[in-house]
Structures are given as structure tokens and as C-alpha cells.
Structure 1
Amino acid sequence: MKYLLSVFLGAASYGILSTIVVLAYGKGYELGEVVGSQLLTGFVLAWGLALFMKWRGKQKARVSAGKHNAVTGAVTKLTWKHRLLLMAAGTPTAITGLLYYESLRYIPASLAIILLFQFTWIGVLIQAISHRKRPNGIMFFTIAVLLGGTLLAAGIMEQGTGKFNVTGVILGLLSAVSYSLFILFSGKAVPSVHPAYRSAWMISGGMLLVFILFPPLFLFNGLIWGELLLFGFLLGMFGAFIPPVLFAIGVPHIGEGMAGILGASELPVAVLLSAFVLNEHVSMLQWAGVTIVLLGIALPELKKWRRLSVRQ
């Protein structure tokens, strides 16, 4: 149960981000300042954890009379080629943040998170193209359910498409593509390295990219010592630090399939906060759409469970 709860809370943490970003925009902060302060906080926290793990590994090694801990072993094997690979694998998550947070300027947070969740079928499409393998019947059915639920959850069935900002919708969909690429690359980038070090180097790569695109002037003009520090800390804590740590704890014990289902907790959390904190209108029909999207995400895993139960 603690591993299930770990993954659930990790995903729910992601659902908090859109509300914090909208509140930061309300205070007049810009995209580069919001994302930059988030990744800077994540960078400090991630490297703090990595150094702590290294110190703990050395302590254990001394106690065990020279036996090398798995963490210290991972560090010695980490070449600069590995570091650069991990930094490159971390850039899609920074791009996702930039696209997703920018979409919040044009469309409601409740719609932005629904568009981001299109990564569920976009990822399937990318894998099918890269492996030149056609998705099976259950996957086609799942995609149809997801798209149908999205139409309801986005409010298109009630309002039509005329009220939606095209720029915001395109940015939201591009964030889904970028997030799909992040999932694809992050799973293949030096998986033998300890999660603490993988996260630290990936966040480093994302932060470097953002600082190149948006020079961190907030570090020198005094903005960082205002409310931006609070927003950056919250975004870094709930977006760049807590989820990777909780996923690293829980996913190996519950499997990727169950993690995918529990990972969908981000969606209702984001919509709930949009409704109650940002006062965005979310109709019953839209909630029905959110429910259908969640069911669509769970369908492939439920199909597996059914097959296993029949065999047993």
C-alpha cells in the first residue's frame, strides 16, 4: 500500500503546478522567471539529495569494511558521456514546462491539463512509428475512448470550438508531444545509474536549456528575493523534486502498468484546483469527460489483469 500511495502522491504533486503558475502570472511574473526559478529550486534539491546519497553510501562502505554501496558504484561508472546523455534526456521536460506554462496564458488551467494528457495516445503513436508496429485493437479502442473523453472534458460538446484560443490549444498539444518524448528518452538514458543521480543530471540539462533561452536575470535584479522565490520553491518541490523521488520509490514495486493508472491522479487534482482555487467553471459534463479519460488510461492495464485472472 505504501508504494501505491507513493506513486499516487507523486502524480498528484504534478497536478498542483498549473494552479501555482496561474497565481504567479497573476503577480506579474514572466514565463522564463517562473520556469527558471522552478528548475533552479529543483536543481538545488536534486543535487542536495544526490550528495546526501553519496555521503550515506560512503558511510555504509566504511561500516561494511570497504564493501562498495550501489550508489557509490553508480557514481564511479558515470562518465561524461553518460552525464551529457542524461542532460540531453532532461531537456524535453524543460520544453514541456515552457509549452505547458505558456499555454496557461491563453486557455484555462482545466483545459491545459487535459491537452497535456494527450501524451497517453501520442506516446503510443510515437512508439508505433519508431518500431514500425501497428497498435493492437485494445489500443485503438483506448485511443478512441481518450479522444471522446477529451471532447467532453474540454467542454467542446457544450461550447463548440469558437471560444478556445487556437494558440493556447496548439501549445497544450505540443506540450503533450514533448512530454511523450521525455517519457521515451528518460527510460532509456543510462537506466543503471542511481535515480538520485539520474534526476540531478536531467534537471541540470533542463535548467541549462531554459537559462540559455531565458537568461536568469531574476538572479541579479532582486526578483528572486520576492514572491518569485516562494513560487519557484513550490514549483520546484512539487514539479522537479517530490515526483521523481516518490516514483523511484514506488514504481519498481508496483510495475509500470499500475504506475500509469495511478499517474493519472494528476488530472483530477489539476481540474479540482482549477475549479476551487482559480474559480474556473467545470461543468458536470466536463467531469464526466475527465472520468472517461481516466478510464481510457486504465483500460490497457485492466485488460492485462483480466487475461491473468482467466489464466489462473
Structure 2
Amino acid sequence: MTDYKSVIHVVLGSISYGLLATIVKYANDLGVHTSTLTFLQFFIGFLILTVLQFTRRVNAKEKATTTVKSRIKLTLWGSTLGLTTTLYYLSIQYIPVSVGIILLMQSIWISLILEAIVNKQLPSKSKILGVITVLVGTVLATNLIQADIILSPIGLLYGFGAGVSYAFSLYASSRIETQLPNILRSRYLVLGGLLLICLFWNRQIIDTFQVQAIPWGLLIALFGTVIAPIFFTMGIPKTGVALGNIIASLEIPVSITSAVLILHESVEPIQWIGVSIMDQS
């Protein structure tokens, strides 16, 4: 029997993730630089997770399994979180949010390839059919079949790169040092993302920093590095990975709807058909 409270947790996590790109693009339109937003998202998120970590009780077994090697491993894998966020936020500078989220979610079939390589086993026919469905949905959702549609190649490259990086992020979240508590794991994964962002943007973070960016940074930090992961951690173990992934695909329509309502982006009926096809994959 389905635990409906857990379903609600996954839904809320999906909504949190789905709102990120729209908030970032809205802040960009107000003059806040992407480097500032990405830095603040991970810096504030790391601080919040650190406070949560040090206010919880730590048992003897946890102390024994939390080794320096585990922390380094999580931090290194966490760099994929920072790379995903950076590439995703860069992509929506060149292409609509509604297209950026579709490219990000190409991680669905990229993760399948990664899983096949790691497990040294070909995916099942049903999974291959799912990949084909995602690709068909992508063509429709991005409206590539429309003759006069013009999408920035650099934006598409950034978006697809974010999808590849996101696949590795999902792998890290589900496979790396899973014996450790989720808040502790999240803290070091976010730390890895923060370090990558500092290396990627470098002095630009300082040069473009604005005090008025802090509220926006706090907002996306709460949605992207605190609220969503906590809700997913609470919900997916009880709903199961299969149902959890289906529910989490709500991120796509949430992102597109918020882009339409807040950014006034134009989305054609054929694109909604593509989104529906991807949600059924």
C-alpha cells in the first residue's frame, strides 16, 4: 500500500527543484550575476547543512564510519553538483527555461547508460523503450521540428552538459557512501559543489558580488540544497525508486509552468505534448 505522506514529500521536493531556474533567470533579469547566485546557493546551503549536522545527535557507530576517506570521496563526487548547477544556469542565459529543463532531464537516459557501464550489463528492453520515449518527447518538448525555431548552440551545449553532469550527480547521491546519514552526506556533496563553483568562477564571484543578491541566494539555497534533498530523503525510500522517479518528473511541468507565469515564456501545445510523453517514460 502506498504511503501517501511519502508521495507528498516527493512532490514537494520536485516542486522545489522545478522552481530554481525560473528564480535564477528572474534574478538575472534584475541584474544579479549567475556567478553570484551559484556561489550563494552552495555557500548558504553548506552553512545551513553544517548547522543541521552539528545540532543532531551523533552515535558511536556513525563516528566509526565517518572516515576522512569517506569525506574526501563525497567532496570529490559533490563537484558534479556544482558543475550541474553552473552549466544549467548558464544554459538559461541563452535558451528558454522551458528548453533548459528538458535538456537537464536528459539525465534520465544518460543515467541508464552510466548504470549499464558500471554494472557491465545491457539495459532491459523496457528501459531502452523508455530512452526512445524520452528522446521523442525531447524533440517535441523543445519544438525542434518547427522550421523557424532558432535555439542558441552554446545554450544547447550548456544544457546538455548539465544533463550529463546531473546523471553523475544522481549516481553520487544514490551510490556513494550511503551508509552515512543523509544530512552528513549532503553536507560534503554540497561542499564539493561549492569548491567547484569557486574554481570555475574564480575572481568573478568577487567582481560581480552585490548585497542585493543575498536574498535570492538564500531562496535558491533553501529550495535547491536544503528543502528538496530533505523531502526526497524522507519520501523516496518509502515510495520506492521507480515510483519516486515517476513523481519526481513533476519537476519538468513545474519548471515550465513557472517560466510561463513568471517569465512570460511562450510554450506551444506541441511542447506540452512532448512533456507529457517524457512524464510517461
Q: Which residue of 2 aligns with 1:43?
A: 46
Q: Which runs of 5+ in 1 are unaligned?
A: 58-68, 297-312
Q: Equivalent residue of 1:16, what SS?
A: helix
Whether 1:143 and 2:131 are equivalent positions in the alignment is: yes
* 1:133-179 deviation digits (Å, cap 9, x = unpaired): 2222111211111111111111112345x501111011111111000
TM-score by length of 1: 0.85
Kindly tell me the number of residue pairs found equivalent between the two proteins.
278
Q: Which residue of 2 aligns with 1:172?
A: 159
Whether 1:287 and 2:275 are equivalent positions in the alignment is: no
8 A Cα contact 1:218 1:224, kept in partner? no
How far apart, in 2, do the equivalents of 1:128 and 1:36 lie?
A: 34
Cα 1:73–1:132 change in 2 (3 A) is closer
How far apart, in 1, do the equivalents of 2:215 and 2:22 lie?
A: 14
- 1:1-312 correspondence runs (5 A): 1-54=4-57, 57=58, 69=59, 73-159=61-147, 163-215=150-202, 223-226=209-212, 228-296=213-281
Indicate the RMSD between aligned Cα atoms, in angstroms.
1.8
Q: Equivalent residue of 2:111, what SS?
A: helix
Q: Equivalent residue of 2:267, what SS?
A: coil
Q: CA deviation at 1:291?
A: 0.5
Aligned amino acid, residue 21 of structure 2: S
Q: Which residue of 2 aligns with 1:63?
A: none
* 1:55-89 deviation digits (Å, cap 9, x = unpaired): xx5xxxxxxxxxxx4xx531343111111011112
* 1:167-204 deviation digits (Å, cap 9, x = unpaired): 10111111110000111123221111111111111111
Q: CA deviation at 1:131?
A: 3.0
How far apart, in 2, do the equivalents of 1:73 and 1:146 lie?
A: 42
How far apart, in 1, do the equivalents of 2:85 and 2:163 lie?
A: 10
Q: Which residue of 2 aligns with 1:305?
A: none
Aligned amino acid, residue 173 of structure 1: F
Cα 1:197–1:125 change in 2 (3 A) is same
Q: Equivalent residue of 1:282, what SS?
A: coil
Cα 1:214–1:222 change in 2 (3 A) is closer
Q: Equivalent residue of 1:156, what SS?
A: coil
- Structure 1 stretches (4+) deviating beyond 6 angstroms? none
Aligned amino acid, residue 201 of structure 1: Y
Aligned amino acid, residue 191 of structure 2: S
Q: Equivalent residue of 2:93, what SS?
A: coil
TM-score by length of 2: 0.93
Q: CA deviation at 1:269?
A: 0.3
Larger Rg: 1
Q: Equivalent residue of 1:22, what SS?
A: helix
Identity over the aligned pairs, expressed in percent?
Answer: 29
Q: Which runs of 5+ in 2 are unaligned?
A: none
